[in-house]
Amino acid sequence: MARTKLNERQLDVLRRICHGETPITSDDSGLATTVYALRNRGLVTTSRADGRWSAAPTEAGRQHLAHPDARLAPRPSTPSMAPAAAELITRLQQAGGTLHIANPTPDERAHWRRVLHAARADHLIPDGHHLQHTGRNKGALTITLRPGPPPRRSTPPSETVPVPDDLPPETLHPAATAAHLPVCPDCQPRARRILHALCHTAEANNYTVGNAETGSAASLVITIGDSSFPLTFHEGSYEVPDPSGTKYAWQRVTARTTRPSHELEFSLEHTYAHRGRRSHWGDRQRWRLEDKLPALFREIAHRAHTEDERRQTQQRKEEETRQRWLTAMQQARTALLEDHRLKALRTQVQAWQEATAIRAYCDALEDQHAIPEAAEATTAWIAWARAYADRIDPVPRNQGPPEPPAPTPEGLRPYLHGWSPYEPKRG
């Protein structure tokens, strides 16, 4: 059977477990994934006591270190992504900060993920900027170079959430003390210790905790960035016969009453935005609620990340719509001004043509040598006609371009091709 080869981190953790002076326990939450990988290979074991696990080597683990073949697993050589990363930054700067790749193949998506990683790892991103991208696994891939520091990402929740076995009331987290808990008095201390552990673990992961508003059924609200997640505690119950309503011992008991089961559970709000996701955890025969706290934090982190991506996508769509609307508004103002000037020009040309024609007509009348008895009336008519031509002729007055029209919303509407003149939307 071929000997299992370990990577550098796994080999280092195995050495610490076999030969280290300090044991590796659940307090070393950052090593939990590596310890579990070693355990799956049969090189270490984990034992649990007082709610904490500790790692110990197996004989196979010791032999692995002692064997001359105990070495690092070979790593395939990969070409440097630095040139591609530098080219990406240049393309983003030339394109105004955004690069769209329509319908990339899975291999192309993987390539761009490596390029993005290289740009960050090699510090190629310009100072005061950060990279963001959407479409990691499906849809169009959009890469954006944004000004400002990158948004703060919450640290991954630890593998274990330690819940103290006993805790004086005065040392409880304030949010755990003030929380509304619809559980029986016997379960109140345990429920508050669980809330206490949730509060401290949430704050350790840069989350915010607080109590729900008055009237809400939630016991605790955990906030990550712009997303808030109400957490509701419940206690199970079961039905038993209720003999309190019977008057005689021989009477049949038909009434039922409920008793608390002392089984706790909590739930996240079930929403359409996260349909299909798990939202309930509780005591079962194979585990206790305390064992499921890490799963709760993983679900909250997933939901927060999903909602953050949705918000960013919505913001980009709104900004794209706003830019198209602004362009349409500018084009509408230009079209309105052009139409206004064209109408004024046509009016001036028509007036000039009419004045020119009137003067030519008057010249023709004078050349006709009107009969003597009509000469006085004809002369008066010609004088009036020439005066009118002078009044309407725009050339002597040199009118120039007209005053620009006021771009009122309703005045712009005919030129907007379906856009609203009031806000960036259709209609």
- Alpha-carbon span 9 to 34, nearest angstrom: 8
pLDDT tens digits for 211-224?
A: 888 878 888 999 99
Q: Give a yes or no: residue 124 inside a domain.
A: yes
pLDDT of residue 76: 42
Q: How many CA atoms lie within 13 A of 404 on its CB side?
A: 9
Residue 338 pLDDT level (bands cut at 50, 70, 90):
very high
- At 398 the pLDDT is 77
Lowest-confidence range among 121-135, 148-162, 238-252? 148-162
Does 261 reside within a domain? Answer: no
If pLDDT is split at 50, 70 and 90, which confidence band does 2 have?
very low
CATH assignment at residue 35 = 1.10.10.10
Whether residue 204 lies inside any domain: the answer is no
Residue 308 belongs to a domain: no
Count of domains for the chain: 3
| Mean pLDDT, the chain, integer | 84
For residue 4, is pLDDT > 60? no
Quote the CA–CA distance of 16 and 427 in Å, as a whole number.
68
Q: Which of 123, 147, 171 is the last residue of a domain?
A: 147
Tokens of 416: 């907007």
Do 42 and 86 fall within a single domain? no
Determine, yes or no, domain membership for 397.
Answer: yes
Same domain? 42 vs 99: no
Q: Is residue 405 part of a domain?
A: yes
Q: What is the mean pLDDT of residues 103-124?
A: 83
First to last CA, the chain: 72
Per DSSP, the residues of 309-375 read: HHHHHHHHHHHHHHHHHHHHHHHHHHHHHHHHHHHHHHHHHHHHHHHHHHHHHHHHHHHT---HHHH
Cβ atoms within 10 Å of 96's Cβ, excluding its own: 8
- Residues sharing a CB contact under 8 Å with residue 113, sequence separation 6 or more, in sequence order: 136
Enclosing domain of residue 408: 331-415
pTM: 0.52
Query: Does some domain include residue 234?
Result: no
401 and 377 together in one domain: yes
- The identity of residue 241, as a single letter, is P
Instruction: Check whether 174 has a pLDDT greater than 60.
Output: yes
Task: Return the minimum-mean-pLDDT range out of 73-77, 302-306, 342-346, 365-369.
Answer: 73-77
Q: pLDDT at position 29, please?
A: 67
Residue appearing with tokens 């008095």: 185
Residue 18 lies in a domain: yes
